[in-house]
Amino acid sequence: MMRQEINSFPKQFSFEPKLANAGGLKKFSRVVVAGMGGSNLAAGLIKILCRNVEIIAHRSYGLPHLKSFKDTLIIANSYSGNTEETVDAYKIALKKKLPVAVIATGGTLLQLAKKNATPYIQMPDIGLQPRMALGLNLMAHLKFIDPVVMKKLKALERTLDVARYEAEAKILVKKLRDKIPIIYASAENQALAYIWKIKFNETSKIPAFYNAFPELNHNEMNGFDAVAATRQLSANAHFIFLRDANDHPKIQKRMRVTEVLYGNRALPVMAVDFDSRHLHSLFGLLVYGDWVSYYLAEYYGVEAEQVPMVEEFKKKIKS
């Protein structure tokens, strides 16, 4: 199932979002995306794709503590439509009479949107886990935020070569066996490192962490300056540097120097190069991460698609 979902990922960009209750929308220059887990991965990508709109990813109950919500659109985004934090954010936005829209496949959010004449986009429910519906979710967001970029992404349905990244992924998987992946990117691209981390957590069912340059050079890297007493703590770490051709020259230098310092301390580093200004390269990087997490799941003998611990947790907090 997961393999099929990765192979069919480009088809998600054929999605034609239909905006209902569009008359309720007002002009905005800032967007708050309220959502959890895989339903809020799109927000970080939109920051990379759309530089003309401020994007705030909100991952909690309620709304972010902003001085003002002037010229702000709140998007309550939940794949299932039942995520309690997102439903809470929607209800508070409605109570405060703030501009709000909904993206969901169904559930409580969609029911509330219809009842309250809230602008909404209904995504097709094709049985995906939220993290694997990134294309659908991204297209829905861009319908609100930047329809021009949305149209450009449609070309990926025909041109994104998923199979190309599978062989490369198998090489990295061999290096990551029995290791804890730690993914680094520039601050501008930290959403990509976060998505890779999430895929390792949910698909491969392993610990994984991420951070961003240049901040990590001021703190995190010191934690890997191992001595005899602490060497065992970092023995299973394997670093993945996501290197963008468009990163600031000083960030590129920091990556090179950090790789040397880690190498001198016997810490394995693998660099993955991409170009964030080219859609095929940007989304190819995400597909690459999908393949790596999928084959790691296969190596560990775990089911790749479902997230049983998340479901167990949901049941317990409802009891």
> Which residues are annotated as catalytic?
202, 218, 314
Say if CB 216 and CB 184 are below 8 A apart: yes
Q: What is the CA radius of gyration of the chain?
A: 20
Tokens of 243: 């290197």
CA distance 237 to 178: 9
DSSP state of 135: H
Site of tokens 């439509």 = 81
From the number of C-beta atoms within 10 Å of its C-beta (0-12, 13-18, 19+), residue 191 rates as buried
DSSP string, 43-112: HHHHHHH-TTSEEEEE-SSS----S--TTEEEEEE-SSS--HHHHHHHHHHHHTT--EEEEESSHHHHHH
Q: With CA atoms as reference, report the closest residue to 286 among 183, 214, 207.
A: 183
CA distance 305 to 205: 10
CA distance 202 to 129: 10
From the number of C-beta atoms within 10 Å of its C-beta (0-12, 13-18, 19+), residue 109 rates as buried
